[in-house]
């Protein structure tokens, strides 16, 4: 178990990916695509791998402490983008998608 001083979000994510790689981390149910709902899930290892890719790309565009606006519909990609920003040392700034008329 991690000491509280080591329990950053990136550290917890890496720990879960190592200890429970095949366990489901997140499940998103899309009711807009189908009223019955379409489920999509990611395991801890899948989330960690995607977060590292996003973090690497963001690191090329800025520096730790910069702000990264997360403007995306509710989805697994939103979660990965948010966590990727944190992994890169950015301040994640989540914004709601504008409503379409």
Of 86, 45, 89, nearest to 65 (Cα)? 89
pLDDT digits 0-9 by tens, 13-69: 999 999 999 999 999 999 988 999 999 999 999 999 999 999 999 999 999 999 999
pTM: 0.87
Q: For residue 101, what pLDDT is reported?
A: 67
At residue 32, the pLDDT reads 87
Q: Where are the domains of the chain?
A: 7-95
Q: How far is CA 92 from the centre of its chain?
A: 10
Q: Which residue has the higher pLDDT, 49 or 3?
A: 49
Q: How many CA atoms lie within 13 A of 91 on its CB side?
A: 4
- Residue 96: what pLDDT? 86
Domain 7-95: give its CATH architecture: 3-Layer(aba) Sandwich (3.40)
Confidence band (pLDDT; 50, 70, 90) for 4? low
Give the pLDDT confidence of 82-92 residue by residue, as tens digits: 999 999 999 99
Mean pLDDT on 88-97 = 94
């Amino acid at each position: 178990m991690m000491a509280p001083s080591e329990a950053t979000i990136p550290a917890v994510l890496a720990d879960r990916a190592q200890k429970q790689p095949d366990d489901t981390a997140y499940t998103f149910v899309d009711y807009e695509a189908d009223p019955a709902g379409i489920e999509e899930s990611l395991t801890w290892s899948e989330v960690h791998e995607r977060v590292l890719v996003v973090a690497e790309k963001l690191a090329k565009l800025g520096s730790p402490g910069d702000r990264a606006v997360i403007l995306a519909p509710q989805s697994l990609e939103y979660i990965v983008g948010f966590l990727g920003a944190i992994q890169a040392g950015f301040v994640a700034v989540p914004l709601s998608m504008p409503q379409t008329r």
